[in-house]
Structure 1
């Protein structure tokens, strides 16, 4: 049976690297391998579009580095789409909603990131931030209830949408999936040498450096541990994070933005992947680290409560307790070989191929 043609709208895309862009990119790659089309509509940037990628006019967003505000345009090349998929709720999400209505096509909406988590970037004080968060929740409810189905990567996030946000549209849980052919165990000596990383245990993180990720907690947890910290990625919180690490009694290396080809080497080089972010809807980088054989120590909050299998793929700790965070890191280092084997045993359950097969079923249901 032929797969439907999909028009995927996203307000964040390459060259920005985050969970949304990675998911859109890998799902599209898997979809085209199945001899079907998944067009991507995204804000025009430095990324050079290939066939099936349609940039629209955009401007830099002044409050959030790397994010662009797109004009809510609909390229004529996607008008034959059978399904419209909105990956974000902003200007291109609104364009997706309008396009689906005008073409009598089903609208699928993915819930990747809580909109309210961006409040601190545009607010001047706590009162304004709370107001923006409340408005964001109401906006999410309106936007998601206009879809035919909402996809979210974890059951915990699905409950949040139903019980807290008040989404009445059917919500289906679909993990974003990991490319387990790409993210796999490998030799790391060359990576260590290339980036000047010393011998001994490495504890690190890669991804967007946002304030809501609480990356300062990694520095606090590592004080007193005989480890080297490694941070890959970039973002608005990086400068402050570097200052925090410099003032603390830790050995920290900031590698900046890494080419995607280096990510499996980074994950495999780490003895523990540290993940203090309480705002994740899945925590895809945790699953990527596990696929490379690296256990994750993360906060027992948000989707990470379900993503991390305590004592199997890593350990969890109570939110805000950096002492417990450090203890969990130390325990994971002591049990690294056992945890590594358990992580590798779980690789098949998290593959992107499995996720895209389920995505095809969801599309067929809404059609």
Structure 2
């Protein structure tokens, strides 16, 4: 059976590094390995040397969220001229609308990925009651857009349940984003620790986008004065984002050793994860939490908030522990239990590498595409 040719539309892509760009770029690469073509249409925001199936389009900067660009609707000539079988929208915004129009015009099935709740951007646009109104409008738009697709792809069961709760009637399929387990695996860490002057003691950390919605300040609250058998762990933040400056200001004066490493090249991430005794993840807005799975693939357990997708992504007592949202004491206790059981947790994480691999994810994606094409 031939591999379908896909036209994917996304509002975030390389060289920006986040869960969506990693997922879309990895799926494109693995789709090519299977003998297919997955064109990716994305906003031309920064310098990047695209491959033949990567197509930058004109964009405008989103005024409320630093580093986020909205691609202007349009279909590149190379995509127009190819024999596209299915359209995959990774955004409900302008490029997603352009992809939907292209699918209707060419009478092609349309699949949409639900990566991030659109309503989460409400706090960037307004405050108080106005933010509630913006959120309500965003949810209605989200539902309107998704209900006009032939299938919706979500990375976790809680994300599927969320769409059911807000009234989405389209077929929703769970397709985990998947981890490149060839890259993310346990590696030697001495050079990484030395390069960043991290010593050889206990190390806790987070890497990813520093967005306000991720509640990263909860990490600072939890580690303030935290000790394990009298030892004060070092806490590291990798990555960058709009909340970084406020996090750095909040870290000053804490009874904690907090380091901000800034942006880490993707080649460094396996060593970053492998260096940690526990990965700390307080974000309540994840649809899967890919960085948690990357940490697990490197043998590092996760302390995650018991909310959103992390309630499922972190397997309690198996790949890490949960804490209650907004409860600092619960967060500290979960860190303590994770450090106590780290060896057993790490073994379980490594045993489950195949189940979270990107190859498994692309198998599921191919099945969704085939089903949508058959039903269409």
TM bucket normalised to smaller: over 0.9
In the TM superposition, residue 59 of structure 1 has moved relative to its aligned partner by 2.1
Unpaired stretches in structure 1, ≥5 consecutive residues: none
Q: Distance in 2 between the 1:357 and 1:346 partners?
A: 17
Matched, 1:353 2:354: no
In the TM superposition, residue 72 of structure 1 has moved relative to its aligned partner by 0.6
Q: Distance in 2 between the 1:6 and 1:184 partners?
A: 30
Aligned to 1:74: 75
Q: Distance in 2 between the 1:56 and 1:234 partners?
A: 25
User: What's the CA shift string for 1:282-313, capped at 9, x where partnerless?
Assistant: 01100000000000000000000011100000
Q: Distance in 2 between the 1:249 and 1:239 partners?
A: 19
Q: Would you say how many aligned residue pairs link Structure 1 and Structure 2? A: 365
Query: Counterpart of 1:311 in 2: which secondary structure?
Result: coil
**Partner of residue 318 from structure 1, selected from 314, 324, 329:** 324
Aligned to 1:44: 44
Query: Counterpart of 1:247 in 2: which secondary structure?
Result: coil
In the TM superposition, residue 15 of structure 1 has moved relative to its aligned partner by 1.5
Matched, 1:338 2:344: yes
In the TM superposition, residue 62 of structure 1 has moved relative to its aligned partner by 2.1
In the TM superposition, residue 247 of structure 1 has moved relative to its aligned partner by 3.0
Q: Which region of structure 1 is more displaced relative to structure 2, 59-68 or 337-346?
A: 59-68
Q: State the Cα RMSD in Å.
A: 0.8
Q: Distance in 2 between the 1:334 and 1:231 partners?
A: 22
Matched, 1:309 2:311: no
Task: Give every structure 1 segment of 4 or more consecutive aligned residues whose post-TM-superposition deviation is greater than 4 Å.
Answer: none
Aligned to 1:158: 160
* Contact 2:118/2:139 (<8 A) preserved: yes
Q: Distance in 1 between the 2:48 and 2:263 partners?
A: 15
In the TM superposition, residue 347 of structure 1 has moved relative to its aligned partner by 0.7
User: What's the CA shift string for 1:6-30, capped at 9, x where partnerless?
Assistant: 0000011111111111100110110
Matched, 1:261 2:267: yes
Q: How do 1:21-32 and structure 2 match up within 5 A?
A: 21-32=21-32
Q: How do 1:1-367 and structure 2 match up within 5 A?
A: 1-45=1-45, 46-79=47-80, 80-123=83-126, 125-163=127-165, 165-225=166-226, 226-367=232-373
- Normalising to structure 2: TM-score of the pair? 0.96
